[in-house]
């Protein structure tokens, strides 16, 4: 695991996405994690973080209109980045026409 700051760390796969992201995207990701750092999950802004699988503590962070960060909330409170993706790539993988991020 690599510590990224603001309670975030990246596993091996998440680190690949982190390292290949633009510096400006990495700053936005850290700023988003800073915004939720130390807050209980129920106080996280719904426009920023969405629960994907509560039983697995899996969440989706949307720090901007085109960037998606999949992470797991650990028992320790740390957030482990599992994947960093562009919304356009997700749309293409799902066979959808890339669209303006919502």
Tell me which DSSP letter residue 43 carries.
G
* pLDDT digit string, tens, across residues 23-54: 999 999 999 999 999 999 999 999 999 999 98
Give me the domains of the chain, ranges plus CATH numbers: 2-93 (3.30.2310.20)
Tell me the whole-structure pTM to 2 decimals.
Answer: 0.84
d(CA 39, CA 18) in angstroms, rounded, equals: 23
Q: Three-class SS of residue 50?
A: strand
* pLDDT digit string, tens, across residues 70-98: 999 999 999 999 989 876 666 666 777 76
- Give the bridge partners for 48, in sequence order: none
d(CA 12, CA 14) in angstroms, rounded, equals: 6
Kindly list the strands in the beta sheet with 79-86, ordered across the sheet, starting from the edge strand earlier in the chain.
2-5, 8-10, 79-86, 67-73, 58-61, 49-53
């Amino acid at each position: 695991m690599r510590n990224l700051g603001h309670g975030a760390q990246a596993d091996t796969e998440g680190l690949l996405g982190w390292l290949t992201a633009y510096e400006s995207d990495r700053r936005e990701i850290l700023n988003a994690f800073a915004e939720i750092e130390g807050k209980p999950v129920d106080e996280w802004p719904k426009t920023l973080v969405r629960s994907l699988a509560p039983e697995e503590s899996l969440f989706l962070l949307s720090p901007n209109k085109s960037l998606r960060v999949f992470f797991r909330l650990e028992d320790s409170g740390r957030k482990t980045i599992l994947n960093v993706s562009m919304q356009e790539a997700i749309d293409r993988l799902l066979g959808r026409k890339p669209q303006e991020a919502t």
